[in-house]
Amino acid sequence: MREILQAIVDAHAGREDLVMATIIDNVGSSPRSAGTKMLIKPDLSIIGTIGGGKLEANAILAAKEVFQSKKSNLFHFILNGEDAAKSDMICGGSGDVLLVFLPWDDPETTLVFEKALDAAVGNQEGWLITQFRENGGDTNKFCFVDKEGEKTGNLIINGEFLSDMRGTPDQIAIHSDLLLNSEILVEKIKERTKLYIFGGGHVAKETARLADEVSFETIVLDDRAEFANKERFPNSKIMVVPDYKSLPDLPIDHQSFVVILTRGHLGDYDVLKEMLKTDAFYIGMIGSIHKRNLIYERLLNEGVSQKEIDRVHSPIGLPINGETPTEIAISIIAELILERSKLK
């Protein structure tokens, strides 16, 4: 979402209209989930993807109509057997794709997306709301509501709707507005999942880089300033600690992820002992089974329960036989993505 919002703001600054494609619903084997976005430029080049294949091609062609009419519309695309075969989609499928016209010369619309971008960049919760008519109609109305309930934009919504909207955990939802004969699309801009990386070595550097690409907010901790710095981790928050026995009071909660990648088993032990006292959703530790078992045995002898130790993913990462720092980081990120999908 952050990259899409940035591209909208940049395009409007360059006086360029856009069409934003959003998957509203899909059935069968359509390639991406509801809420997936793509931007289409006037020359029909794209930013992002809604999965490629026939579904995406149909959306790009339909964008011609939207650019010409300057009116948004909801399109229902059906992929038959032949289309599915060409798209590597065995069972076919269908998808409802909302194509929204975003004019560069509407300052209020631009301001809505600027506010949404600020929230995404600042890792703040918010809601992007779009009003549309299924069979076209007037130009869309938009608003953005931040976590404090402050609204920006030309879409009028009442307090009851705001309260209901802020209470739903769903990332995307559609509500019918019977009075205006329209639909209201609500998209939640969620705070990025926090990932605490202990250690600033080669594997940590690659893990942080990839984690940023898949929307984790990374916090890197090391006891060496030459390893924990902005040059090595440009997109991470950096914390240099005196040692791994003297960790600061970290705001680790039930949705936080922890990856332990220190330079030795003593550092891993010190960090793991402290992390097991937190409510972290995920704790992973690098190392061989032999090293892991030595650390586990020591913790058990010190009174840590087996139930607590069973929370730990070690050796960390999905088993892809990675050897280089990048390959090991890929296996770690794959496991983090899998575990993040289980968050409620």
Structural domains for the chain = 1-191 (no CATH), 193-340 (3.40.50.720)
User: CB neighbours of 86 closer than 8 A, spacing ≥ 6?
Assistant: 53, 54
Q: Is residue 167's pLDDT more than 70? A: no
Across all residues in the chain, what is the average pLDDT?
A: 87
Backbone region of residue 200 per phi and psi (left: phi > 0; alpha: psi in -120 to 50; beta: other values): alpha
Using CA atoms, how far apart are residues 226 and 245, in angstroms rounded to an integer?
19
73-79 vs 93-102, strand pairing mode: antiparallel
CA-based end-to-end distance of the chain? 20
> What pLDDT is stored for residue 186 in this prediction?
87
> What pLDDT is stored for residue 261 in this prediction?
97
**How many CA atoms lie less than 13 Å away from 175 in the CB half-sphere?**
16
User: CB neighbours of 215 closer than 8 A, spacing ≥ 6?
Assistant: 2, 192, 193
With 0-12 / 13-18 / 19 or more C-beta atoms within 10 angstroms meaning exposed / middle / buried, residue 79 is buried
Q: Is residue 111's pLDDT more than 70? A: yes
Asked whether the bond before 248 is cis by omega within 30 degrees of 0, the reply is no
Using CA atoms, how far apart are residues 198 and 253, in angstroms rounded to an integer?
16
> What pLDDT is stored for residue 96 in this prediction?
86
> What pLDDT is stored for residue 176 in this prediction?
63
Question: Which residues of the chain form beta strands (DSSP E)?
Answer: 18-28, 37-40, 46-48, 73-79, 93-102, 126-132, 141-146, 151-153, 172-177, 182-189, 193-198, 216-222, 237-240, 257-260, 282-285, 312-313
Contact status, residue 37 vs residue 102, Cβ threshold 8 Å: no
> What pLDDT is stored for residue 156 in this prediction?
78
Closest residue by Cα to residue 129 from 181, 180, 188, 178:
188
> What pLDDT is stored for residue 91 in this prediction?
45
> What pLDDT is stored for residue 163 in this prediction?
72
Q: What is the CA radius of gyration of the chain?
A: 23
> What pLDDT is stored for residue 272 in this prediction?
98
At 215, is the pLDDT very low, low, confident or very high (cuts 50, 70, 90)? confident
Using CA atoms, how far apart are residues 109 and 144, in angstroms rounded to an integer?
10
Contact status, residue 178 vs residue 200, Cβ threshold 8 Å: no
93-102 vs 257-260, strand pairing mode: unpaired
Q: Is residue 326's pLDDT more than 90? A: yes
Query: Percentage of the chain surpassing pLDDT 70?
Result: 85
Q: Is residue 222's pLDDT more than 80? A: yes
> What pLDDT is stored for residue 135 in this prediction?
63
At 282, is the pLDDT very low, low, confident or very high (cuts 50, 70, 90)? very high
Q: Of 48-52, 177-181, 192-196, which gets the smallest average pLDDT?
A: 177-181
193-198 vs 257-260, strand pairing mode: parallel
**pLDDT single digits (tens) 41-89:** 999 999 999 888 888 899 999 999 999 988 888 888 776 655 444 444 4
